[in-house]
A = this chain, B = another copy of it.
Amino acid sequence: MTYDTIFTAIGDPTRRSVLEALRGNPMTVGMLAEKIPVSRPAVSQHLKVLREARLVTVTPKGTANEYAVDKTGLDEVRSWLDSMWDDALEAFKSHVENKSKN
């Protein structure tokens, strides 16, 4: 399941900070490292996890790598959410039916 990777990625607070920072505009590693209270190599490591989860994209620009939000991973979250929501509604409905049968 792809969403395992995605939710594991989002599960970390620092990685959520990275996504929050990127929601406005693409940013380089250095810029992110100035904004988020961890070392630059730590930011790189987190970006790697986010990239593998398809939550960010990277575009080399000279010596700099520019990162942006990748909607692919967000799509997966939405699919999971819709599916989860539907099932929860279904379970609630049949639960109520069972209840009114007793």
A residues contacting B by CB (< 8 A) are 4, 7-8, 10-13, 16, 19, 22-26, 68-69, 71, 74, 77-78, 81, 84-85, 87-88, 91-92, 94-95
Contacts and interface: CB of A to CB of B under 8 A. Distances in A.
A22 B16 CA distance: 26
Contacts of A22: 91
Given A7-B11, A11-B11, A69-B88, A26 B95 contact: yes
Contacts of A26: 91, 95
A10 B69 CA distance: 20
Given A12-B11, A24-B91, A95-B25, A69 B84 contact: yes
A16 B7 contact: yes
